[in-house]
Chains A and B, each alone.
Chain A
């Protein structure tokens, strides 16, 4: 079997088409950039079409594993693909007016975004640590570049440097983790990890831990979070939007996959303690430090760190319900966080300067729609009921309580209380302070409005009618061999 060249089956082809669509869309945009720059205003549409096509192809692909069992098409990948596609779509929508504002709408931005998206897509679908690693690197490289995208701005270059150095550093650990697991299981397939007697070996545990920190880094999970605030601050907002959502979801899924394969009946106590400690640390540090933030994007970065703490509770619970809860959480996080970043993008006039929260004073009355959605997103992030954020927390805490992790749940809700402090701070600055900026934000672009509307609709849809999402998430979670009902 291994001896022959290129034996792609029909199923292989069908399964890879979504990624092909993304890659082609990126290439097409790049080509047009080079040969027909006048078509630039269609790039966003094209990119969106690429994302949509990829989603359609993902849905159309028959379920099963392809490429010699290294690539998955399943309800799980479809649902997570939807999650990623959603992030990408909103990011593209936000990117268009953003790039127009800085008069730098170039194809490269979209192309890199699409390729990065492709990388994440590989991460969620890969059943092979190597393909996951490659996906991770595609993502990373694209976003190293996007971080430093504003060559004319020092902060952006600095964000690029920091992201690159820390990212490469973390990749080295991830790689070493993969190596250790390879050594133990004799291959890179995740399924290979599910061998008898593997779970207890020190090398395997070390490998898993290295993967945990490697992907924890991508999740911006404390204490592997340090890059996130700086990078978010310096990076173009639409790119942050994507980076702050999609890779995190993919990373959690990868961790679930690996842990599910290695530890069939459940996490060993020690590892469980370690994961729980990460959750607590991330929630607490993220929330507490966010209180002290003055810059909108940094604030959202710390908020993201805290949210990853909540998701990590699901990892600590470790079960089918927990994975489903995490998926629901990510959908909630998607609409809330994407909306928040979209609002940030729409509310600040000068992209090259920092984004102090104080500058938003009184914008609730000038940029009504963006501010209203921003506030809605913040309430959702804070977990106020009738929003998606609440539903996310609901399932996470339910899973934790069902597993008897009371302390985690209590620390979680207490952290929510702290988080309300800074979310509401933004809200009151928006609505209860008088404007300090002589000029309001730029008029709301159509694409921004669309992105915000989508997020607001999502927040309410998931917040009020979560049943469908929960069912999907549960059936998706059944794909993994996790313990649970």
Chain B
């Protein structure tokens, strides 16, 4: 228990968010939406770790989340730059249509 919130509840929410993100990552075709879904998955991890951290009474969880957010930011910058770069060639970021490299 974290205060009055049961840890398992936090974890379930986190898991649910992860799975929702997973659905998006697998079912969306727009690269940006896929990336958004992945961001959601990382956030779900953040939620879980904060839950754990709070439950354990340690600040380490927060620190992990701090770094994860930093990483996510960096990833977003690079990822979006890649999308832009690709878009210049293909005029699309629909991943179904990005399959020059295959087989």
- Report A's interface with B, CB cutoff 8 A: 130, 133-134, 137, 141, 144-145, 148, 151, 154-155, 157-162, 164-165, 168-169, 171-172, 175-176, 178-180, 182-183, 186-188, 229-231, 233-234
Contact A164 B78 (CB under 8 A): yes
Which residues 45-68 of B sit at the A interface, judged by CB distance below 8 A? 45, 48-49, 51-53, 56, 58, 60-61, 63-64, 67-68
Contact B78 A230 (CB under 8 A): no
Which residues 23-45 of B sit at the A interface, judged by CB distance below 8 A? 25, 31, 34-35, 38, 41-42, 44-45
- Report B's interface with A, CB cutoff 8 A: 11, 18, 21, 25, 31, 34-35, 38, 41-42, 44-45, 48-49, 51-53, 56, 58, 60-61, 63-64, 67-68, 71, 74-75, 78-79, 81-83, 85-86, 88-90, 93, 95, 98-102
| Contact pick for B61, options A182, A229, A230, CB 8 Å | A182
Contact B90 A172 (CB under 8 A): no
User: Within the assembled complex, what's the spacing in Å between the Cα atoms of A186 and B45?
Assistant: 15
A172-B38, A176-B18 given; A155·B60 CB < 8 A: no
When distances are taken between beta carbons in the complex, the residues of chain B under 8 Å from A182 are: 49, 52-53, 60-61, 64
When distances are taken between beta carbons in the complex, the residues of chain A under 8 Å from B83 are: 161
Chain B proximity of A277: nearest CB distance (Å): 23
User: Within the assembled complex, what's the spacing in Å between the Cα atoms of A145 and B44?
Assistant: 26
| Contact pick for B38, options A155, A161, A168, CB 8 Å | A168
When distances are taken between beta carbons in the complex, the residues of chain A under 8 Å from B81 are: 145
Contact B34 A165 (CB under 8 A): yes
Contact B86 A172 (CB under 8 A): no
A130-B64, A130-B67 given; A144·B86 CB < 8 A: no
User: Within the assembled complex, what's the spacing in Å between the Cα atoms of A178 and B68?
Assistant: 12
| Contact pick for A144, options B51, B67, B79, B102, CB 8 Å | B79
Contact A233 B75 (CB under 8 A): no
Contact B98 A161 (CB under 8 A): yes
Contact A172 B45 (CB under 8 A): yes
When distances are taken between beta carbons in the complex, the residues of chain A under 8 Å from B51 are: 183
| Contact pick for A187, options B42, B58, B85, CB 8 Å | B58
Chain A proximity of B86: nearest CB distance (Å): 4
From B76, which residue of chain A is reached at the shortest CB distance?
A168
Knowing that A141-B75, A182-B60, A186-B60 touch, tell me 18 more A-B residue pairs with CB under 8 angstroms. Answer: A130-B63, A133-B67, A133-B71, A137-B74, A144-B78, A144-B82, A145-B82, A157-B85, A159-B101, A161-B82, A161-B86, A175-B45, A176-B41, A179-B45, A180-B48, A182-B52, A183-B48, A230-B102
Chain B proximity of A69: nearest CB distance (Å): 13
Contact A179 B52 (CB under 8 A): yes
A145-B78, A165-B35, A176-B48 given; A155·B86 CB < 8 A: no
When distances are taken between beta carbons in the complex, the residues of chain B under 8 Å from A158 are: 86, 89-90, 98-101
User: Within the assembled complex, what's the spacing in Å between the Cα atoms of A162 and B21?
Assistant: 18
User: Within the assembled complex, what's the spacing in Å between the Cα atoms of A158 and B90?
Assistant: 9
Contact B42 A172 (CB under 8 A): yes
User: Within the assembled complex, what's the spacing in Å between the Cα atoms of A86 and B57?
Assistant: 44
